[in-house]
Amino acid sequence: MLSFSMVSLLATLLLGISVQGIPQAAVPSATPSAAPASGGPSGGGGGPPITGGGKPPGTGNPAGGESPSGSGIPNVQNATNAQCVPWYGIRDAIMGGLFQGRCGANARAAIRLAFHDAGTFSLALQAEALPNGGADGSMLVDPNEVLRSENNGLQTIVSLLQPITAQFGVSPGDVLHLAGVLGVLACPGGPLINAFIGRAPPANIAPMGLLPDPNSPIDVLLARFADMGFSSRELMALLGAHSTGTQSFVDPAQANASFDTTVDIWDTRFYTETADATVLPGTFKLNSDVNFAGNATTSADFSRFIGKQAIWTSEYAAAHLKMSLLGQSVDDLTDCTEILPESIDILSLAVTTSTGGGGGGGGGGGGGSNSNKPVTDPTIDPVKLEAAIEQFRSIWLVPATT
């Protein structure tokens, strides 16, 4: 229920973004991976403080030990919480069976789906004890909810996730929101977000008319997100999920245009390029994103993430975690963050220059030999990037065909 625009994220992360061409992959009969553990803090039951972000990228789980290959993928044999044991297999069914370990169409659709599932939550409805939306998985249950116009493009990812709930006998809300967390991690640079399980089945379908519209005025969008419990600063952090987003329905003539020039990398280039007046080839700017970048109320929070990967990913992780718990009581859930792989640190993958600094970013990133703009977003070395994916997502990758 949030849309890929979390106004954009939630509005296109809620409205306009559609991921198309998603393969109809069969849901595998997954077994927990045999890779030794490392990645994700030790899980525990109950309700730990909601701080977001999990462990810092690049640190392992001391209880599990690092694998010989340094994959950073936790092994069920090193599980610390018995309630989390089944979720290693579910993790593999999603990250391997549906995403193939990469930031492709299915992973990006799962992120958008998580926003749409949670984005109809309302504090006002909660206060009146009225039927409410929330992070409950209703998108996987009601056959009509996914057919709403604001959910265009989500039908395939819904059809791929639905069998997993029956196969493993778990709640749709847990499957859907684990998929959203794993979708972020499938994208290099995406942060680790704490993963909770134990959501009850949805009590009702999501109310209509609550998903943000990317063409709404800024004050209307801010008020809607406030009704979900988000501050302006949290919303600006959530918008950054457009870093790996595309649109197909806001302007069908530009279907599959991305919101920045590095759609397969979770980086701050979205902020840099949205704030720049130039519209780069192959990219698309949502009205709400442009308005947020320039509005007096939101521009400072929007701009503070330009070129600040560590700050943005930390704040995004906390806001996404909060979103994944809308309508839930964390005291009734179990923290199974221990199943998650490590985040891929993209800053260590930057192209280096003769002076040892990061290479200039392309379009909107600044820098480069023919640019007077300061470097804000380093260029990622594609060889280093692929090597990192093969190291940290190894067990889920589809072997290359010869």
Is 251 one of the annotated binding-site residues? no
CA atoms within 13 A on the CB side of 117: 36
The pair of structure tokens assigned to 279 is 């519209």
Q: From CA 160, how far away is CA 181, in angstroms rounded? A: 16
- Active site (annotated) includes residue 177: no
Q: Are 62 and 40 contacting, i.e. CB atoms less than 8 angstroms apart?
A: no
Cβ within 8 Å of residue 76, ≥6 positions away: 32, 33, 85, 88, 89
Is 134 one of the annotated binding-site residues? yes
Q: From CA 315, how far away is CA 334, in angstroms rounded? A: 22
Is 46 one of the annotated binding-site residues? no
Is 377 one of the annotated binding-site residues? no
Q: From CA 112, how far away is CA 321, in angstroms rounded? A: 14
Is 381 one of the annotated binding-site residues? no
Burial class, 116, CB count within 10 angstroms (exposed 0-12 / middle 13-18 / buried 19+) = buried
Torsion of CA 209, 316, 4, 336, to 10 degrees: -90
The active-site residue, picked from 91, 102, 112, 116, is 116
Is 267 one of the annotated binding-site residues? yes
Is 44 strand, coil or helix? strand
Is 243 one of the annotated binding-site residues? yes
Burial class, 340, CB count within 10 angstroms (exposed 0-12 / middle 13-18 / buried 19+) = buried
Instruction: State the amino acid at position 274 in one-letter form.
Output: T
DSSP state, residue 358: B
DSSP state, residue 129: T
Is 177 one of the annotated binding-site residues? no
Is 8 one of the annotated binding-site residues? no
Active-site residues, by number, are: 116
User: Which residues are part of a known binding site for heme b?
Assistant: 242
User: Which residues are part of a known binding site?
Assistant: 117, 134, 136, 138, 242-243, 260, 262, 267
User: Which residues are part of a known binding site for Ca(2+)?
Assistant: 117, 134, 136, 138, 243, 260, 262, 267
